[in-house]
Structure 1
Amino acid sequence: MAINMRVRGLYLIKLVFSCLLIAVFCGGVASIYYYIESNQLMNKELKQRHEGMLEQVRDNIDFKLENAIQSLFTLKSSSELLNYSRSNGEDGYVNTQVYNRLRAHFAVFSRLGYEIDVLRRGAQTVITPEYTVGVDKYLAERGLDANVVLQKLSAMTSSQTLNVYNLQTWKTESKTSGVDEVNLVFTLKENGVVNVYYFISFKNSTLFPQGGNDSYSLSIGDEVVVSKGASAADSVSAGNGAYTLASKRLPNWIVSYLPEVPVSSAEAKQLKIKSVLVALITIVVGAVFAVAIAYMTYRPVRRTLRQVIGDSLNEQASLAESQDEFGMIRNITNTIRRSNQELSTELHRYREPLRGKLLRDLITGVLSKDDAAKQLLQMNMKHLLDVPVCVALLHLSDEYGGFMIDHQIIEGLETLIGNETEAAPGAEWVKIDANRQALLLFDPEDIDVPAMLQRIIHEVHRAYPIRMTVALGNQADSVEDAVMSYHSALRVMEQLMPMNRKHLLTEQDLEKAGATGFYYPLDLEKNLINAAVSRNEHEVRHILQSLVGRFDFDHMDRSSFHQFMYAMQSTVYRIAQQLNCSMEELFQEESPIKGLEQCRSSEQLIEALMLVFVQIFEASDRKSKSLDHLLTDSMLQFVHTQYVRDISLQDLAQHVKMSPNYISFMFKANVGQNFKDYLNSYRVAQAKLLMEEGGCTVNDIAARVGCNNTNTFIRIFKKEEGLSPGQFIARKFRQAE
C-alpha cells in the first residue's frame, strides 16, 4: 500500500510544483513591474525636483541681472554719471563724484554679488566702488588683453539702447579678490552716442548653489560664460541628460544644470529592496493559493481514482510505480479497452451474420416476398432467387433431454454439416433459437436429401453426446417461397417428435400418423400452452374440457387414444420449452401422462389432465422462486461490490438486463427495502466500519463509500444513525476511553 500511496500522490506533487512555478513566475513579473513603475515614478519626481532646482538658479540669476540693470539705469541717470559722460579729459573732481556715487552703492553691490565699474570713452582710468585704476592694469587684473578689449570697446556702435557684451568667454580668477568672476560690459546710448562703458562683474559663488558635485553653466548664445563643475552645456550638446532653461530677462542667456547622479544610490538600493519584498510577498501569497488550487484541482482526480480503482490498490501494484495517478488510470483504461476488444471479438464470433439473419427472416415469414427479393439482391444472393429449396429443421437436446447445448458443440456441428453438404449444389446453416437450427438445401432434386440427413444424424450422434431430430419439409419452388417449406418442417416436428422416436421425420410420416391419429388444432394447443405458462388454472380447465369434448371418449379405440396421449405429451414438451425446464424438472417422478390410460370417463380424463398441469404449475412456481432468489442474490452482489461508485436503479437494471420498474418491484418484494434506502443503509454500515478503523476524515469516508457530496453523506448518516458522523466518532472515542 505504501508504494501505491506514493503513486497516488505523484500527480499531486507535480501539480503543486507546477502551480508553485507559476506563482514564482508571477512573483517575478510583479516584482519587475513594480520596479519599472516605481523607477519611472521616482525618475519623474527627480526630474521635477531638478527642474525646480534649475528654475531657482535661473530666477536667482535673473534677479541679480535685473537688479544690476536697474542699478545701471539708476547710475546712468544720476548727475555724477551725466557729468562724467559729458566731460573731456581727466577731470579729478568729476571722477571723484563718480567714485563717491559708486561707493554709495557698494554695499548693495556686495550683498547681491556683483560690482559695477565705469569707463568713459577715450579715458585712461577705470572708476570702481573701491578705487580708480588705469585701464591696462584693470584689464590685466582680470586676465584680459588690453589692446583686444579696447579695440572691441571702440567698435561698440550698436543701435540698441542697451547692449551687453561678454568680454570674457572663459573663467578667470580675479587677481584682487581671488574668486571666479564673469565680466560683462554694457553700453548705454546718450543722444545716440555711446560715451560710457559699464563693466559688471558677477561672482560665481553668487550665481550658482555652492557645495555638492552638481554642475551648472551659463551661456550667452553658443558661448559658455561661466560654469561650476563639469560644463553642463557640454553635456547638453553631448546628449548626456543635462537640464536647460532660458533667462526670462535675456532669452539668449541659457542656464544649464547637470545633476551628479540621476538617481541616488540610496534611493536605488531602497527601490531594489522593495522590489525583492514585493516578489517575496507575491510568491508567498501565490504559493498559498497555488497549493489550494492544486488540491482543489486534484480532488476530482482523487475521486475518479477511487472510483476506478476503489480500495483494492494492492491489486494495482503491478502497474508502473513511477507513473502518476493519470498513468494508473490510463493503464487501467487500456486494460479495460483491451478487455472490451476481446469481448467484442468474442461477441463477434457468436454474432449471427447478416446473411444468416436475412435467411432466417425469410423462412420464418418476417420478410415479404418483395422485401426478400430486394435484400437478396443487396446481399449479392441473386443466384438464389429462382432456385428450388428444401428446409430441414434440426432439433438439438442433450443426452438428458435438456436444452443447454455448449457453443463449442454448435461450432462443431456447423463444421460437420458443412463437410457433409459440400457435395450439395448449395446449403445454408441458419440458427432459429437455442435448440433449433434450419438447414436450407438448394436444388435438392440433384441429391438424395433423406440419405444425406441420415448420414449427418449418424455422424452427430457418434461425435457428440447430444440427441438430434431432423424434420424435413416439402420442397419450395424458390427461396422466396422457403417459408412454406419451413412451416412444413415445423408442423412435422411439432406433431411427430413428442410421439415418435425416429430421428428423421418427413411429411409422409405425418400423413401416416394423421390417417389413424387424433386431430389437435394448433390454435387450441397454443392457447393451452399460454394458459399453462401464465398459470391460469381456470383457463386450462376450460381448454381441456373443450379438447376432450371434441371426441366420444367412450367409443374411442385404443390407437386413437394413444394418439391423444402423444399429442398431450407433445404439448407438455413444448410447455417445458417455454418454461426453460427439462421434463425431469417438471415431473420429479414419472410423468403422470402415462396414468391417463386408467381413465374410464371424460370427467376422469379431465381431472387426470388437471393433475398433470397442477404439477406443471408447481414446477413453474419453484422455477420462479429459484429465479427470484438468483435475481436477488445478483442485485445484492451488485450493490455490495459497486456501492463505492455513484450507482443508480438504472445501473442495476442494466446489470441484470431487466426494466427499471420491474427491478424496483422485485427489489422491494425480495429485500424488504427499496433500492435507494438499502444502498444508503449499506453505505452507512461500511462507513461505520471505516470509522472504527480510524485514520480517515469524514470527507475521505464519504468518498470511499460512494458519496461524492460530503453534506449528502452527513444527512444520510444522521437519518440512519440518529447522529452525525462527527458525533458518532466522538462517542466511539469516549467508549474506547
Structure 2
Amino acid sequence: MYRHAHGRYQQKLNIIFIILSVFITLILSSVLGFFLSRQSEESYKNSISLSRTILEEKAETSLKNISNTMTDIVNDSLIKEWSTSYQKDNFYFLSSQVQKALTKYCSTSETRFQTYLLIDNANALNDEITPSDVLSPEGSFSVSDFLESKDLTSKDLTAIREYFDTHMFPYVLPHYNEKGQLDFLYYWIKGYQHPQTCIYMAEIPVNSIVNNTEDQKFWIANDDGLFLPCTTDKETTKLLKMLQKSVNTDKNLIKTSDYYIAASHLPSMNWNIYYLYDQNSLGILNIFFFLVLVVLVYLLLSALFFYIAKLLYQPIYETLKPTLKDGHEHFDEFKILDENLNRLQTLNENLLETQKTTDRLMVQQYYQNLLTDCNGYLAKIKKPYFSETANFCVGLLCLHPEQEDAVDTALLGQLELYKNILFQECIKQKNCFMVKLSMYRCGLIIQADDLEQAKKLLNRIFSHSESLNKTEKSWEEQIILSPVKKGLENINASYRETLKIAEYLSMLPHDKIITYDSIASVDCTTYSYPLATENKLISEVIAGQEKALELFDELIRENLTQKRLSMEVLQNFVYTLIGTVNRIFQELKSSPEDFIGRSINYEYWYAHWGDSVTITAIKAVLSDVIAAKKQRSQTQDELLLTQMLDYIHENFRDNIMLNDLADQFNISPKYCGILFKQLSDNNFKDYLNRYRIEQAKKLIQERPSLKTKDLSVMTGFNSSNTFIRVFGKYTGTTPQRYAEQIIEKQNSKDRK
C-alpha cells in the first residue's frame, strides 16, 4: 500500500498507537494480575481451609479415641484394685493382669498410642505399701528407667506431682526429637490417691493429630496457658509466641501481614492446633506464564493498532499520492495538505468568479429566451429580476453605424463598451434588464404600467450616466417599444411586435423612440408579411402541423382586422398569399389533384381577390394539405411496421437482435426500438419471444413427440433452459407438460 513511503504524520500515528498499546497492556495486565492474584489467593485460602478441616477431623478423631480409652482405663475396676493395692504380694500379682488389660485397651483403640501407669508412693509412710513403679503393656519399669527412656528428669516428675497436688485437669509435656521437632505428647491424668497416687500417661504420636512435616509450622495451645511449639528453634518459637497474641479463637482462618493461621479446634482435649502458612505467591512458573501472556497481549494490540493506523492513514496517503514525487520516501503530510488547501482556495475563488459569470450568462440566456421563445417563461431561474405577474413592455435598441460598409475593430470595441455601460445602468435602475441579441440590436425588458413610464425610465438610463455622455458615438440609435402587457408569458409576443415595428425603421429615420402610434400612418400604405413568416408558414404546413393555421389566422388578423389597407395594398397581400399556396405544392413536389384530391382555381382567386371567400378557400387548402400529410405519415408508419413484422416472422429461427432489425431498415438501434414500441405498443424482445412461443406451440400440436432440445433450436433459442424459462413465462407450464396435455386430448378423442 505505502511500503516505502514514510510521512511524519504516519510515524507520529504509529508512535501514538504504540504508546496506546503499551498503556492498554499495562491496564489489562494490572487488572488481569489483580484478578488472578485474588483468584489464586481465594484458591489458596480454600485449600488451607480444606486442609484445616481434614486435619481437624483427623486430630479430633484421634484425641477422642485416646480420651475415651484413657477414661476406660481410669475407670477399669481391675486397674483400680491394682492401683489401690497396699500389699506388695497382691500388687505384683495384679500387675500381670493389669498389663494384659492395658494391652487390650491399646490394641483395640483406633489411634495407636502407648499407655503407662505410674504408681507414685514417694510420699507414703507405710512400709507395706508397694514402691513406686511404672506399668505398661510392654512390662513394668522402675520410675528412673521410665524417666530416662522418655527423656524426662526427676524435676519433670516433681513438677507433675506438684501440678496434680493442686489440679485435677490433665497435664501435657512435649517431647522433641534430636532435630528439635515435636514428635510426642505426654498426656498425664491423675488417678486415685489412697494414699498412693496412680498417674496415667498416654504417649501420643504428634503425627496422629497433626500434619507433621518438617516444613509445616504449628503450635498447640489452649485457654489455660498451654503453648507447645512444633520445634525448639528459638526464632521459630519466638515467632509462634508473637503470632499466638493475634489469634482469634472465633475464627478458623486468620490472616496476618505475612502469614495465614489455620485453627483446628479439638473440644475433646480443649486444645487448639494452629498451623502456620506463608502468604500466597504465584510462583516462578505462574509469573513466567503471566509475563508470556502480557507479551502476547502487547503483540496482539500492537498488530491491531498498526492495522488500524494503516487503515486510518490509507485515505490520507491515497489523497496525497498523486502529489508525491517518485522516490520521495519521506514527506510532511500537513505541509502538502496546506499547499493543496491553498490551491483549493485559489481554485474555489476562481470557481466562484466563474459561477458568478455563469449566473450572469444564465440570466442573460433566461431573458433572451423570454424574448425569442414563446415558451421561455416556463424556464425556472433562482433569482429573477422581475415578478412574474407584473406589467411589462419590450424595447428593441437598434444601433445604426454611420458607415455600415466601413466597420472596423475600433468601432466594434466601442459598441461593446457602450452596450456594457448600458447593461450596468439598466441593472442600477432595477426596473429594466438588457439582453444582447446581436452586434447592432439589444432587447430591453421594462417593468412599467404604461408607455409613458417606460419612456421616462429610458430617458434616465440614457441621460443620468456621465460615462454614457462622454462616450464618442459614431452611430445612431433608435428604441422600439411594444404595448404594455401583463405577465412574463407575454414577453415573447411583445418582442415579436417590436420586430414588426422594426420593419418600418427606414420610414422613420429621425424618431428616437418608436411605438405602434408612430407607424399608424405608415400601416395604411403597406401590409405586414415578412419573408421569414412566409417560410415558417410553408414549413409548418409541409410538416403537417396544426399551428400553421394559427399563424395564418394571425396574419389575417394583423393585416385585415387591425389595419385599414388601401385597395392596392390589399390586392398585393392576397396575391402574396396565393403565391404562398403555390410554393407549398412546389415544395411538396406534387399537384393539388394528387396530394389533396382536388384542383385549385388560381384564376378565380386572382379575379376575386377582394372577396372574403378567397381567404376562406386559401385556409381550407392549407387545412387539407395538413390533413393529407398526416394521413400519408400514418400510412407510411403502418407500412414500416408491416415490414418490421415480416422481417421478424421470416427470421425468428435465427439469433436476431434489435441491431439486425435496425440495420435492415438503415436506422439506429435506439430509434428502431422507440419506433417499434410506438407502432406496435410492444418492445422488440417481448414480441419476438411471444412469436417464437406461438410457433413452438404449433410445432408441439403437430408433433407432440418433439424433444425440448429440438424445439428450442427450431424456434431460435440458444439453449433448452432459456426456451423452457421463456415458454413457462408466456404459457404458465413447461413444453413437456404442454405436449402431455396435447396427447391426452388426442387420446380422449380417439376413445370417443
So what's the TM-score if we normalise by structure 1? 0.50
Q: Which has the larger radius of gyration?
A: 2
- TM-score with structure 2 length normalisation? 0.49
